[in-house]
């Protein structure tokens, strides 16, 4: 009896699949800042507010005003 329970439990747990929803990050972009630095990110992390350009990440927001956004594939 107990062996069949463990076999059933193992089979049941192996059939459960948890999939996260696919996140649409947008196109890959490179932001060329006036000081020569570059920021590699995705289009959906960039927004404009009051005429300024910002990057909104998981933990911080960075002001990218004055930077030139170009759409490039990077790896």
Cα 41 to chain centroid, rounded: 9
Q: Taking phi first (over 0 means left), then psi (-120 to 50 degrees means alpha), and beta for anything else, what does residue 51 get?
A: left
Residue in the structure block whose two tokens are 């005429």 = 51
Structure confidence at residue 1 (pLDDT)? 59
Could you tell me which residues come within 8 angstroms of residue 20 by beta carbon, excluding any fewer than 6 positions away? none
Q: Would the pTM of this model clear 0.95, i.e. be above it?
A: no
* 20 pLDDT tier (thresholds 50, 70, 90): confident
Residue range 8-23: average pLDDT? 75
SS3 62: strand
**What's the pLDDT tens digit per position in 49-62?**
999 999 998 889 99
Structure confidence at residue 72 (pLDDT)? 87
Structure confidence at residue 28 (pLDDT)? 92
Q: What are phi and psi of 5, to 5 degrees?
A: -65, -45
Residue range 24-37: average pLDDT? 91
């Amino acid at each position: 009896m107990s062996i069949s329970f463990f076999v059933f439990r193992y089979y049941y747990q192996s059939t459960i699949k948890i999939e996260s929803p696919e996140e649409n990050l947008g196109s890959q972009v490179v932001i060329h800042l006036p000081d020569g630095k570059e920021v590699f990110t995705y289009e959906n992390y960039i927004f404009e507010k009051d005429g300024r350009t910002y990057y909104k990440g998981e933990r911080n927001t960075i002001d990218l005003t004055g930077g030139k956004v170009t759409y490039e594939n990077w790896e």
